[in-house]
Chain A
């Protein structure tokens, strides 16, 4: 071998390769750097952040008590004193919208927790068990899925009665099939891979296989479904509230505010505009975030 190249310039091609794991940054770094390069993701994350801040800091930033009737005169258009105007009871709309963000976050988190928790369990157990357990669980999921979310949500509210809590539960139950199917799909894929048989043959226990092998592969697609699911849950719950089947007055939930604003919307359109914008923006934020996460975490879509 010729020694004419100075040793310190040994080109990268011949230097020992670093271990594969060090070449690819971990999922958190990947998500972080991708979000920065993806404007949609940044906007989405910002919106969600604002939503969270608004919810957490509501008592501090809201100028009035959202339930205080007569904080201003009835049905006044937006003005410096009341930037979003007042509603038919004289309540300050800005404060109500700000406090509504708390309910929105609650709805999203609770509904998705129900769907995710149950769906994950069903998908894991069904996919992993095989046999008649699998068939019953997945057939059940398919049947539930064919009912459509709306029907399930309506049925749940019909049984439990109209209230915000029941609406959250209804929406949560209605979305279970999505999470169950995604989980099930991942479990099936992982089961078909050779390493799975190897792990079983090596005597790995059920819990170990589930937690060490299956769960890490299930989590990324579920994150995507969850973030898009939050926006779906918010829309669905707002819809139920709008119909009068969810949050009840005087709750400052945005959908309910839209419902009560209906009677006045020709004279005082701001009552419907601002809550509606709030819903649209929040949903947009979660959708953008979900899309960006999907691109970041989907191995197929990532262009090398």
Chain B
């Protein structure tokens, strides 16, 4: 068990390390002069100012020195400053992060409840009309573009019916975005859960459980669900990363102030230091969640622990 966790930890560290390399290299992949592009939209910068910026970002040094500088700064918590407004990046990101997490977690909750429920039901009633209905709903949910669904929900519920608000920062404004993201996510979860549970329901040990005369609720919960926990947790873990990605779009549709909205603005403004900070933060977050998932597997699957 300890070896397993150590391996996973190493994996996470490597991923983050590679991210830092990629982040530093990113600026150099820009076709043309990155500093000029960063300031392309403001007319009044002088060449001297550009040179100062170039020097501050370390772009006039060789690559490995740049990397060393960047890494030492990052490890001290200094992610640099935004080009526009000269704000310190890390506090800015950390300030917005809770909003994104709130959105991601609440939509994940919606997705889990609806998706697991639908998927489980469809698998148990496989081949019946109920199964087909669930799957039609699911494939519809997967095909609908998130931004379109969000816009329609705004139109119907916020504008026409005035049930919900948008563009605020409190939990009431979170409902619609969480539902939007959650519903599309639920469709994916439902499909994956259904195929996982169908596989499990076909397993011999489920038949053994029935043969013992156990009631349906016991077979479903103690045997099927428990055996399905590991693949289901995998599905949910993947959904977290998927949700983080979807959050970027949803935040823009609903003007929700998370890091996703920040990232898009940064890309528009070519604010490369901010973009770098965003990528690093995002990747770290995803790596941490993956690690947490791996720990959860070890707890749930006795075959990993009791070798």
Contacts and interface: CB of A to CB of B under 8 A. Distances in A.
Direct contact of A and B (CB under 8 A): yes
Given A159-B30, A244-B268, A245-B267, A150 B18 contact: no
Interface string A233-248: 0010011001111000
A239 B249 contact: yes
A40 B267 CA distance: 40
A276 B155 CA distance: 14
Nearest to B245: A150
Given A158-B267, A159-B30, A243-B252, A149 B148 contact: no
Interface in A48-96: none
A188 B27 CA distance: 37
Interface in A135-169: 139, 142-143, 146-151, 154-155, 157-162
Interface string B146-167: 1110011001000100000000
B91 interface: no
Contact of B155 (A158, A235, A244, A269): A269
A159 B26 contact: yes
A269 B153 CA distance: 12
A147 B248 CA distance: 14
A245 to B, nearest CB: 6
A265 B144 contact: no
Contact of B241 (A148, A161, A242, A245): A148
Contacts of B266: 158
Interface in A253-271: 255, 258, 262, 265-266, 269
Contacts of A210: none
Contacts of A134: none
A227 interface: no
Nearest to B138: A287
B267 A154 contact: yes
A40 B140 CA distance: 12
Contacts of B152: 272, 276
A138 B278 CA distance: 26
A199 interface: no
Nearest to B238: A148
B56 interface: no
Contact of B286 (A146, A245, A284, A291): A146
Bin the interface of chain B by size. 35 or more
A239 B140 contact: no
A279 interface: yes
A37 B10 CA distance: 49
B264 A243 contact: yes
Interface in A200-252: 231, 235, 238-239, 242-245
Contacts of A157: 267
B151 A272 contact: yes
A258 B267 contact: no
B143 A151 contact: no
A142 B7 CA distance: 14
Contact of B143 (A161, A262, A287): A287
Contact of B139 (A162, A276, A288): A288
Specify the main secondary structure of chain A where it touches its partner. Answer: helix
Contact of B146 (A154, A239, A265): A239
A139 to B, nearest CB: 8
A280 interface: yes
B30 A276 contact: no
Contacts of B290: 146
A149 B267 CA distance: 16
A284 B143 contact: yes
Contacts of B155: 265-266, 269
Contacts of A262: 151
Residue of A149, A158, A243, A280 most packed against chain B (CB within 10 A) = A158
A283 interface: yes
A148 B286 contact: yes
Contacts of B22: 155
Contact of B147 (A154, A242, A288): A242
Contacts of B283: 146-147, 151
B148 A146 contact: no
Residue of A151, A231, A258 most packed against chain B (CB within 10 A) = A151
Interface string A106-135: 000000000000000000000000000000
A243 B249 contact: yes
B145 A280 contact: yes
A128 B130 CA distance: 45
A54 B83 CA distance: 45
A235 B140 CA distance: 13
B224 interface: no
Given A154-B248, A283-B142, A284-B139, 10 more contacts: A142-B15, A143-B15, A147-B283, A150-B244, A154-B279, A160-B30, A231-B143, A279-B148, A283-B145, A291-B139
21 contacts: A143-B14, A143-B18, A146-B286, A147-B19, A149-B245, A150-B244, A151-B279, A151-B286, A158-B26, A158-B270, A159-B29, A235-B145, A238-B145, A242-B145, A245-B268, A255-B147, A258-B151, A272-B152, A276-B151, A283-B142, A287-B143
